[in-house]
């Protein structure tokens, strides 16, 4: 039996909603999407990937709700006055950090599909005293912003959860201004791992089964109109699967040929 795209998206939504409720209830991140499954994994996902200085200036709930596999604000080279978009903003940790870096003349958007996470993120931003953060409800395959309206896109362990990654890359190119850039943390597979082998290493909702390979990321970004593409492995999260930094610059219109990434539907058994 296979799982449809709508089923997978609902599984992801439920896991993130559960995580938000767990944080609000004071029980940590629960069994949310990218939470570490055990003590040995604690350094691979979540708040441990942010330094002490960053965590010290954040609401506790924002740190606890961090479910990512990296720290995109550390690599995005944000500048005063820029407009930043965080895809899958969760509890708002990266939006808050970004809003502070771009200053009051800049703007930081957070996009999430989960009502519970959006409520938590807005509360965290208010507690942090951040006034230049805006949180939007929507899916990353259909970004609710105008074309050429964003300078930088960040994301933290979310694109691997999309069931239509080609649409995500196309949408990123659409909303970025010419010369705009991405600084993304994601789980990325080595090129020799097939989709079925990736599914054997972990659940789709656990940020493993849906991961692209390095070559798939590079090819997809190229077709979407990006250059200066770098996919750099940072740490292992499973056998031949890695936390990675993905950087690129939007320089061209998308190519006419279709993006070389299939719409993904994982086996129900892996989730």
The residues with which 5 forms a beta bridge, in sequence order, are none
pLDDT of residue 50: 46
Decide: helix, strand or coil at residue 104.
coil
Percentage, residues of the chain above pLDDT 70: 68
Report the CATH number of the 5-263 domain: 3.40.50.150
How many Å apart are CA 101 and CA 78, to the nearest integer? Answer: 6
Examine the pLDDT at 115 and tell me if it is beyond 80. Answer: yes
pLDDT of residue 57: 54
pLDDT of residue 144: 98
pLDDT digit string (tens) for 178-209?
999 999 999 999 999 988 888 777 554 455 66
What angle, rounded to 10 degrees, do the helices at 93-102 and 115-127 form? 40
Confirm whether pTM is higher than 0.85.
Answer: no
State phi, psi for 186 to the nearest 5 degrees. -155, 165
pLDDT of residue 260: 63
Q: Nearest-5° angle of CA 172, CA 174, CA 178? A: 95
Examine the pLDDT at 262 and tell me if it is beyond 70. Answer: no
Confidence class for position 32, pLDDT limits 50, 70, 90: very low
Query: What is the dihedral angle through the alpha carbons of 208, 210, 211, 217, rounded to the nearest 10 degrees?
Result: 180
Helical spans, DSSP H, in 58-211? 60-64, 93-102, 115-127, 165-175, 195-200
Round the average pLDDT of the chain to a whole number and report it. 79
Examine the pLDDT at 24 and tell me if it is beyond 90. Answer: no
Structure tokens at 170: 């196309």
Examine the pLDDT at 227 and tell me if it is beyond 60. Answer: yes
Do residues 223 and 255 lie in contact, with contact meaning Cβ atoms separated by under 8 Å? yes
Q: Which residues of 246-268 are buried (b: 16+ CB within 10 A; e: fewer)?
A: bbbbbeeebeeeebebeebebee
Do residues 62 and 122 lie in contact, with contact meaning Cβ atoms separated by under 8 Å? no
- Give the single-character DSSP code of 2: B
Examine the pLDDT at 71 and tell me if it is beyond 70. Answer: yes
Structure tokens at 154: 């960040």
Task: Name which of 68-82, 90-104, 204-218 the model is least confident about.
Answer: 204-218
pLDDT of residue 205: 45
Confidence class for position 228, pLDDT limits 50, 70, 90: very high
Tell which residue, 264, 133, 254, 258, has the closest CA to residue 211.
Answer: 264
How many Å apart are CA 119 and CA 114, to the nearest integer? Answer: 9
Tell which residue, 217, 202, 179, has the closest CA to residue 37.
Answer: 202
What angle, rounded to 10 degrees, do the helices at 165-175 and 214-224 form? 40
The residue extents of the domains of the chain are: 5-263
How many Å apart are CA 72 and CA 141, to the nearest integer? Answer: 20
């Amino acid at each position: 039996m296979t799982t449809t795209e709508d089923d997978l998206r609902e599984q992801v939504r439920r896991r993130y909603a559960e995580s938000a409720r767990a944080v609000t209830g004071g029980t940590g991140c629960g069994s949310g999407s990218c939470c570490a499954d055990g003590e040995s994994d604690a350094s691979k996902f979540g708040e441990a990937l942010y330094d002490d200085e960053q965590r010290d200036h954040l609401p506790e709930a924002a740190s606890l709700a961090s479910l990512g596999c990296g720290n995109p604000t550390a690599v995005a080279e944000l500048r005063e006055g820029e407009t930043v978009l965080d895809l899958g903003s969760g509890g708002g940790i990266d939006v808050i950090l970004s809003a502070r870096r771009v200053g009051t003349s800049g703007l930081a958007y957070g996009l999430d599909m989960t009502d519970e996470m959006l409520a938590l993120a807005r509360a965290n931003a208010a507690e942090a005293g951040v006034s230049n953060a805006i949180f939007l409800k929507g899916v990353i395959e259909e970004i609710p912003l105008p074309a050429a309206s964003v300078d930088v896109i960040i994301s933290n362990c979310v694109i691997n959860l999309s069931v239509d990654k080609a649409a995500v890359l196309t949408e990123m190119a659409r909303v970025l201004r010419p010369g705009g850039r991405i600084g993304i943390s994601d789980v990325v597979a080595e090129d020799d791992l097939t989709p079925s082998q990736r599914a054997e290493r972990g659940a789709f909702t656990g940020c493993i089964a849906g991961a692209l390979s390095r070559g798939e990321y590079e090819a997809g970004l190229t077709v979407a109109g990006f250059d200066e593409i770098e996919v750099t492995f940072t740490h292992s999260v499973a056998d031949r699967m890695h936390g990675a930094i993905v950087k690129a610059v939007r320089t061209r219109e998308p190519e006419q040929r279709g993006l070389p990434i299939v719409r993904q539907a994982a086996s129900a058994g892996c989730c």
